[in-house]
Structure 1
Amino acid sequence: MTITWWQILLLTLYAGYQIWDELHIYSSASSPVFAGMLSGLVMGDLTTGLVIGGSLQLTILGVGTFGGATRIDANTGTIMATAFSVSLGMNPQQAISAIGVPVASLLVQLDILARFANTYFAHRMDKKIEEFDYKGIERNFLLGLVPWSLSRMLPVFLALTFGGGLVQSVVGVLNNQLQWLGDGLEVAGAVLPAVGFAILLRYLPVKKHLPYLILGFTITALLTVVFNDIQLLGENVAEVVENLEATFNALPMLAITLIGLALATISYKNGQNGKGTPQQSTSNTQEDSVEGEIDDDEL
C-alpha cells in the first residue's frame, strides 16, 4: 500500500495544527493517542494507530516541558510510525522502536529551532507594545505560529513523500538479514510504556499514597484474572452449546479508570478534611523533595 497524496496532505496539516493545539487551544488533540487515532483513520487502520499512539502516550507519561524545556515530539513520531506501519505492513511495536522513538527524538532539535525563530516575533511584539499598536501585537502573536507549525509540517511532508523507499528497505533488512534486531525492536517497543510508568512513578508522591497504589494494583489484578477466566469459560461453553447468545468480555479499561478515580477521590477528600498535622505535612514535603518527587501543592 502506497501513501496517497491526500493522506500526506491531511497528516501534514494535522502535524502543523497539533503543535498549535498544544501551545494555545489545549483540546487534547495534540496528544499521541489522538495523533494515533487520526493517523489510523487517515491510513485506514484505526487499530494500528491506537496501538502506536497509546504506546507512545504511555512512554511520555512522566515527561513534561516545565520552564519551557523541550521534550521528545511523540505526536510527530506517532504520525510517521502509524503511516509507515500501515503502508508497509510493519509490525506496530517494531514501528514504535524503529521509527516513532527516533523521529520523536530528532524533532527535539527542530523544536529548539522553532523556539529561537519565534523570538523574532516576540521582539516585534515588544516594539508594538511600546507603540500601543494592539493590532500589531495580535498579528505578531499569530505569526509566531508559523515557525512552530513548519517545524512539524516539513519533516512529516518530506518523510512521507520521499522516505517511503528508504523505510521499506530498512524494514526488509530487519525482517530478513537482521531478523534478530527486528525481534529486539519489537520487544523494546512493548517495554517502552513501562518506562513511561516508571518515570511517572518516580516524580509522583508514591510514598505518601502507597496504600492507594497497592490497593489499586491488587483490585485491578484480581478483577483481570476473574474476567479472563470467565471469558475463557464462556468461549469454551460457546463451542459446545449451539446458538449461545451470551457474550463474555475482558475487563474494560473504563472499570480500571473508575477504580483509580474512586481511590483518587478518597485521597482528595481525606486531604480536604485536614487529616494529618502541619508538622507531618512539612516532614512529608521534605522527604518527597529528597526523593525527587513532586508534592501535591507543586502541581
Structure 2
Amino acid sequence: MLQAFLVALVGAGVFMESPLLGQHMLARPIIISPLVGLVMGDLKTGLMLGGELELVWMGLVGIGTTTPPDVVVGSALATALAIKTGASWQTTLTLAIPIALVAQMISLVVNSFDAIFTHYADRQIEKKNWKGIAIGQWTASVVVFFSKFIPIMIGYLVGAPVIKIIVQAIPTVIKDGLAQSGNLLPALGIAMLMQLTYDKKYAPFLFLGFALVAFLKVPMIGVAVFGLIIAYIYYQFKPNDQNEEDLL
C-alpha cells in the first residue's frame, strides 16, 4: 500500500508542477520513471524505462483543444508495474501505451468537469470576490491532482497481480513479438519528432550521431560528449548578426 501511495504521489505531484509552478518539463517519462524506480528501490530499471518511454513520447504535444495520451499516468504506472512484476522493458513499452490511452479518457472527463469551477471563478470575478476566485482555482487543481493520483494508485494495487499473471501466461512466441514491437516504438517516437523538427541544415549532425553508434560502436555517453563539443564549436564559429553587418 505504501509503495502504491508513493508511486501515485510521484506521478500526480510531478504533473502538478506545470499548472502550479510553470512549465519546467518535469512531467516527462525521463523524470517520472527514475523517480518511480527510486521509491520502489530499483533506480536502474527506472532510468532505463524513462529513457525508452521518452523516446516514444518525446514528440507528443497537445495543441489547441487536443488531448494527447496521458504520458504521466502511462509512465508512472507502467514503470511501477514493470518493476513489480519483473516484466521486460519491451513488454513495458507496449503496456504503457494502452494505459496512457485509458488515462486520456479519464482526463477528458475530468477536464470537462473542471469547467464548473472555471465558470464559478468567472462569476466571482464579476463580483470582485477574490477569495471566491482562489477557491475556484484551487478546487480545480485538487480535482486534477486526484485525477492522476487515484488512477495510478488503483492501477498499481489492482494491476500488479493481474499483470504478473498475464505476463507469465503469455506464450514465448507472443513475448518475442512484443519484444520486437518494443524495439520499434522508440524509433517511431524519433520519427514523429523528426517530422516536426527535421531541418536539412542540421541533418548531417543527426547522421553523424547515427554513424558513431552504428559503425564505430561509440556508447551513448560518448555520442553526447561529441555532440556537446560540436555544438560548442558550431556556436563559436557561427557568425552573429553584427559580424555579418561588419562583413558587408
TM range (shorter): 0.7 to 0.9
Identity of matched residues, %:
25
- Whether contact under 8 Å (1:19, 1:148) holds in the other structure is no
Partner of 2:208: 218
Distance 1:264 1:105 in 2: 41
Which sections of structure 2, spanning at least 5 residues, go unmatched?
none
Pick from 68, 89, 92: which aligns with 2:89? 92
Q: Which amino acid aligns with 2:67?
A: T
- Whether contact under 8 Å (2:30, 2:53) holds in the other structure is yes
Pick from 247, 251, 254: which aligns with 2:224? 254
Deviation of 1:40 (Å): 0.7
Q: Which amino acid aligns with 2:149?
A: M
Partner of 2:189: 196
Deviation of 1:110 (Å): 0.9
Q: Which amino acid aligns with 2:177?
A: G
Distance 1:66 1:256 in 2: 34
Q: Which amino acid aligns with 2:53?
A: L
Give 3-state SS (helix, strand or coil) of 1:144's partner.
Answer: helix
Deviation of 1:262 (Å): 4.1
- Whether contact under 8 Å (1:60, 1:74) holds in the other structure is yes
Query: CA 1:203–1:82 in 2, change beyond 3 Å: closer, same or farther?
Result: same
- Whether contact under 8 Å (1:15, 1:149) holds in the other structure is no
1:81 and 2:92 aligned: no
Query: CA 1:222–1:169 in 2, change beyond 3 Å: closer, same or farther?
Result: closer
Residue by residue, what CA displacement relative to the aligned partner does 1:21-65 show, whole Å, maximum 9, x if unpaired?
A: 133322332111111110111111112111211111111222211
Pick from 31, 37, 53: which aligns with 2:34? 37
Pick from 10, 14, 20: which aligns with 1:24? 20
Rg larger in structure: 1
Query: CA 1:33–1:215 in 2, change beyond 3 Å: closer, same or farther?
Result: closer
- Whether contact under 8 Å (2:212, 2:223) holds in the other structure is no
Partner of 1:169: 165
Distance 2:239 2:109 in 1: 46
**TM-score, normalised on structure 2?**
0.87
Query: CA 1:65–1:223 in 2, change beyond 3 Å: closer, same or farther?
Result: closer
Partner of 1:106: 102
Q: Which amino acid aligns with 2:188?
A: V
Pick from 130, 134, 159: which aligns with 1:138? 134
Q: Which amino acid aligns with 2:211?
A: A
Partner of 1:278: none
- Whether contact under 8 Å (1:227, 1:251) holds in the other structure is no
Distance 2:66 2:234 in 1: 29
Give 3-state SS (helix, strand or coil) of 2:16's partner.
Answer: helix
Give 3-state SS (helix, strand or coil) of 1:82's partner.
Answer: helix
- Whether contact under 8 Å (1:94, 1:186) holds in the other structure is yes
Give 3-state SS (helix, strand or coil) of 2:37's partner.
Answer: helix
Q: How does 1:170-185 map to 2 (within 5 A)?
A: 170-174=166-170, 178-185=171-178
Distance 1:114 1:260 in 2: 46
Query: CA 1:7–1:219 in 2, change beyond 3 Å: closer, same or farther?
Result: closer
Higher relative contact order (CA 8 A, sep 6+): 2
Q: How does 1:45-84 map to 2 (within 5 A)?
A: 45-84=42-81
Partner of 1:297: none
Give 3-state SS (helix, strand or coil) of 2:25's partner.
Answer: coil
Query: CA 1:271–1:100 in 2, change beyond 3 Å: closer, same or farther?
Result: farther
- Whether contact under 8 Å (2:90, 2:182) holds in the other structure is yes
Distance 2:6 2:225 in 1: 35
Task: Work out the number of aligned pairs and report it.
Answer: 243
**TM-score, normalised on structure 1?**
0.73
